[in-house]
């Protein structure tokens, strides 16, 4: 993908702020991707929804099951989580690896409710901070 990037330090003008913008752009592209939408379609659970008068509604109710707490949640209450974390990249030369860590196999993706996802993210960040502290 980036075979034509020279090995010397000619890209040293790309600073941390630029890398953050690139990382954010790639994450946003994944969130809007057909690939992510297809993963969500494979995980959706449809149930009959009823009107107040007892008649069945035209559309089914769509929910997703959190793999950690097993709760059922609407699409706006869940996160698609990478089981092996995507992490970051610290140089422009790592962008290709970062790309493939985001667009990974479905086996590395899972549905988590926002509460479980926030807890997992907090634990991962705490572990990262501790490992940096003692390295």
pLDDT at res. 45: 95
User: Residue 135: is its pLDDT beyond 90?
Assistant: no
Longest dimension (CA), the chain: 71
CB 5 within 8 A of CB 92: yes
Residue 29 inside a domain? The answer is yes
Residue 6 inside a domain? The answer is no
**Backbone torsions φ then ψ of 61, nearest 5 degrees:** -85, 130
pTM of the model: 0.77
Between 20 and 106, residue with greater pLDDT: 106
In the chain, % of residues over pLDDT 70: 90
In the chain, % of residues over pLDDT 90: 56
Question: With left for phi above 0 and alpha for psi between -120 and 50, is residue 65 left, alpha or beta?
Answer: beta
Q: What is the pLDDT of residues 57-78, one digit of tens each?
A: 898 999 999 999 999 999 999 9
pLDDT at res. 9: 52
Q: Sign of torsion, CA 86 20 31 29?
A: negative
Residue 86 inside a domain? The answer is yes
Residue 84 inside a domain? The answer is yes
Q: What is the Rg, in whole angstroms, of the alpha carbon atoms belonging to the chain?
A: 20
User: Residue 94: is its pLDDT beyond 90?
Assistant: no
Residue 21 inside a domain? The answer is yes
What is the Cα–Cα distance from 127 to 95, expressed in whole angstroms?
23
Residue 74 inside a domain? The answer is yes
For the ranges 6-15, 34-43, 82-91, 93-102, the lowest mean pLDDT is seen at 6-15
Residue 34 inside a domain? The answer is yes
- 87, HSE (Cβ side, Cα atoms, 13 Å): 14
Q: What is the pLDDT of residues 16-25, one digit of tens each?
A: 888 889 899 9
pLDDT at res. 27: 92
Count of structural domains, the chain: 1
How many degrees, rounded to 5, is the angle at CA 33 between CA 122 and CA 29?
A: 65
Average pLDDT, the chain: 87
- The H or E element that residue 100 is part of is helix 95-102
Query: In which band, very low, low, confident or very high, does the pLDDT at 81 lie, cut at 50, 70 and 90?
Result: very high
Q: Which domain holds residue 75?
A: 16-133
- 44, HSE (Cβ side, Cα atoms, 13 Å): 14
The single residue listed with the structure tokens 């706006």 is: 76
């Amino acid at each position: 993908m980036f075979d034509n990037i020279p090995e010397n330090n000619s890209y040293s003008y790309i600073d941390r702020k630029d890398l953050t913008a690139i990382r954010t752009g790639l994450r946003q592209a994944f969130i809007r991707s057909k690939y992510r939408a297809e993963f969500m379609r494979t995980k959706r659970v449809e149930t009959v929804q009823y009107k107040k008068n007892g008649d069945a509604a035209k559309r089914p109710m769509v929910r997703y099951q959190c793999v950690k707490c097993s709760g059922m949640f609407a699409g706006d209450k869940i996160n698609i989580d990478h089981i092996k974390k995507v992490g970051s990249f610290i140089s422009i030369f790592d962008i290709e690896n970062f790309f493939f860590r985001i667009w990974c196999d479905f086996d590395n993706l899972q549905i988590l409710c926002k509460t479980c996802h926030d807890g997992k993210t907090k634990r991962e960040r705490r572990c990262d901070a501790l490992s940096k502290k003692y390295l």
